Chains A and B, each alone.
Chain A
Amino acid sequence: MIGYIVRRLLQLLPVLLLASIGIWSMIYAVPGGPVATIVGENATPEQIRDVTERLGLDRPVLVQYWSWLTRAIAGDLGSSLHAREPVLYLIMQRVPATLQLGFAATLVGLLLGIPVAVASALAPGSWLDRVLSGWSALALGVPTFWLGILMILLFAVELRWLPSASAFVPFFESPWQAFRNTLMPALTLGTYVSGIFARFLRASLLSELRADYVRTARSKGLPERDVIGRHVMRNALLPFVTIVGLSMAAFIGGTVVTEAVFTYPGLGRLLIQAISSRDYPLIQGCILFILIIYVMINVLVDVLYAYIDPRIEYG
């Protein structure tokens, strides 16, 4: 098992290395080069020299990359050009908001997705199955930003129940305010993942229902509720863990669009602000941070899956 984890992590190295080169060279690929981007067109030679030195751009390229990489590994992602604060500090300020939204959305996705999957898998081909499959297709097809706008129109503009812009309120500080502010973004994202969850779990349940042990359980007179609840569900939920984990990984950075709809102050909005203000150290920092978390969760899901399903070979 430990060998498997180490091997999976080692496989990551080339990908992380290539990606880090890509992210690092971003600033050099910008038209006009990094210095012009930062100081603007009307800069004095002195300003240019100052910025060049501050960014270390007068050193050889490999030295620059190496010092950037070693500092990044040590947690120093540089300073934001506009906020003049350490990039990592700015990122860490936003992480709780994105995490809270990610968890809430996953919860909504599970609450909506699992019943839909079970109901349609128990009667495949029936009208109920067709209606529910249509619902899943709809949940997957409706762009989250449009669904979010419709929710604001209904709950904020028409009914005036909820605020149209969602602030971040930590759940443990004020559960009710946190609920009011997180409900719409969580429903928006949750509806989308519920479509993925439902479709995946339905397929997984259907393939389990065809297995021999189900026939055995039924023929020995076990009540259908126990057949489903005790046997089928347990086995069908195994591969399902992967999908839930992957969608949570995507939420780390993938809440960008939903955060924009509800002006929710998460990591995604930080990145958009960084891009629109051309704050390159902040852009690089955000992307590197999201990339590492995303890749690590992917590995974690693989490892977890291998752990709960011993049939998986640690290949």
Chain B
Amino acid sequence: MTGGLRRKLDVGRRVVAHAGAALSAAFLTTTIVLAFLAPWLLPIDPIAQDLAATLERPSREYWFGTDELGRDILARVIYGARTSLLTAGGAVIIAAMIGIPIGLVGGFFGGWRDAVLMRMVDVLLALPSILFAMALIAVLGRSQAAALIAVGITGVPSFARITRAQVLSLRKRDFVTAVEALGGSSTYSMFRTVLPNSWSPILVQVVILSSVAILLEAALAFLGVGIPPPTPSWGEMLRTGKSFLYEAPTYAVLPGIALTLTILSLDTLGRTLASVLEDRREIGADTIAQRGSA
């Protein structure tokens, strides 16, 4: 157990050793802390309206100005982070809960089960994900749950495909064959043998998909079909800010910066994590090869 923990800490250390990844991790940590602890940490209110001070330029009182109802833009951006992070987190969980079992079953059993499941995944890929999400929302109606489900479902194919590929490559390995030869059931084999050895590509996928989910949620809100107001959301702020480009040019700047930095940080973390884990996997294969010859 301690060995596993040390290995995880080691991966973490090697990711943070990259300057870009360290910066990204720091930014994301700050965002998460601010987003969830803001009510206790900061004297700001994202809902309080000041109708005497609407669409104000940045000032000492309102660092990034106010919106069309006189609400503090900075406060709304900080609370908007909560919407983005929660949607992304929820969507990734939905995608993983559906996608990973599909990939496991398809890769493990092959045959008609695999064919049926993969055709279903193909259908999800037959439309660009934003259109798929919009179609789902058109059916479900506009709500927080609809946005969450729509973003989550579009993430299913990547988890399914990655897990399936992982299963197919692991199945040929001796330790899986050994479990099967010893009479381990398919369920045991899937969940106790194959899945624990697939966590690194899945983890990379979780990070990448979080970034995609945040972008998709914001895009849906920008199009006016995402999480309905008054919940502060970066995409919704960009949507309203766009209608006041001449009156308040600074309105749309801060939500965009927050959104872009979050996406870039997650992308950077994902890429670094992938390259660090890639190295590890090669080392792992080597050690197994050595053990095999010995």
Q: Interface on A for B, CB 8 Å cutoff?
A: 14-16, 18-19, 22-23, 26, 29-31, 137-138, 140-143, 145-146, 149-150, 152-153, 156-157, 164, 250, 253-254, 256-257, 260-261, 271-272, 275-276, 278, 280, 283, 287, 290-291, 294-295
Contact = CB atoms under 8 A, between A and B. Distances in A.
Contacts of B256: 143, 146, 149-150
A257 B235 CA distance: 11
B56 interface: no
A50 B256 CA distance: 48
Contact of A157 (B130, B223, B249): B249
Q: Is the interface of A mostly helix, strand, loop or mixed?
A: helix
B264 A143 contact: no
A23 B126 CA distance: 12
A232 B128 CA distance: 32
Interface of B: 119-120, 122-123, 126-128, 130-131, 134-135, 137-139, 141, 211, 215, 218-219, 222-225, 235, 238, 241-242, 245-246, 249, 252, 256, 259-260, 263-264, 267-268
Contacts of B122: 15
B138 A143 contact: no
A141 B123 contact: no
Contacts, number: 114
Closest 4 CB pairs of A and B: A146-B256, A141-B264, A254-B128, A15-B122
With a 10 A CB-CB cut-off, give which of B130, B134, B241 has the most chain A CB atoms: B134
Given A137-B268, A143-B259, A153-B249, A257 B137 contact: no
A183 to B, nearest CB: 17
Contacts of A157: 245-246, 249
Nearest to B256: A146
B131 A287 contact: yes
Contacts of A143: 215, 218-219, 256, 259-260, 263
Given A142-B260, A145-B219, A256-B223, A31 B123 contact: no
Contacts of B263: 141-143
A29 B135 CA distance: 11
A197 B53 CA distance: 46
A138 B267 CA distance: 10
A15 B119 contact: yes
Contact of B245 (A138, A164, A257, A283): A164
B138 A149 contact: no
A16 B235 CA distance: 32
A276 B137 CA distance: 11
A145 B249 contact: no
B127 A290 contact: yes
B131 A26 contact: no
A291 B245 contact: no
B215 A283 contact: no
Contacts of B120: 18
A276 B225 CA distance: 8
B261 to A, nearest CB: 9
Contacts of B127: 19, 253, 287, 290-291, 294
A30 B245 contact: no
Contacts of B137: 275
B152 to A, nearest CB: 17
B264 A137 contact: yes
Nearest to A150: B256
B128 A250 contact: yes
Nearest to A16: B126
A138 B141 CA distance: 34
A100 to B, nearest CB: 19
B139 A29 contact: yes
Contacts of B134: 256, 271-272, 275
21 contacts: A26-B138, A30-B139, A141-B263, A141-B267, A143-B259, A143-B260, A145-B235, A152-B245, A157-B245, A157-B249, A257-B130, A260-B223, A261-B242, A272-B134, A272-B223, A272-B225, A275-B137, A276-B224, A290-B131, A291-B126, A294-B127
Given A22-B123, A143-B215, A146-B238, A283 B141 contact: no
A220 to B, nearest CB: 35
B249 to A, nearest CB: 6
Contacts of B267: 137, 140-141
A157 B245 CA distance: 7
Contacts of A257: 130, 219, 222-223
Nearest to B132: A287
Contact of A146 (B130, B138, B249, B259): B259
B260 A141 contact: yes
A117 to B, nearest CB: 17
B157 to A, nearest CB: 12
B224 A272 contact: yes
A295 B252 contact: no
Nearest to B122: A15
Given A15-B123, A141-B260, A143-B263, 13 more contacts: A15-B126, A22-B123, A140-B267, A143-B218, A146-B252, A152-B242, A157-B246, A256-B134, A260-B223, A261-B242, A271-B134, A276-B225, A291-B126
A8 B222 CA distance: 37
A26 B211 CA distance: 28
A275 B141 CA distance: 10
Contact of B131 (A15, A152, A271): A271
B134 to A, nearest CB: 6
Contact of A287 (B135, B246, B260): B135
Given A145-B219, A146-B256, A18 B123 contact: yes
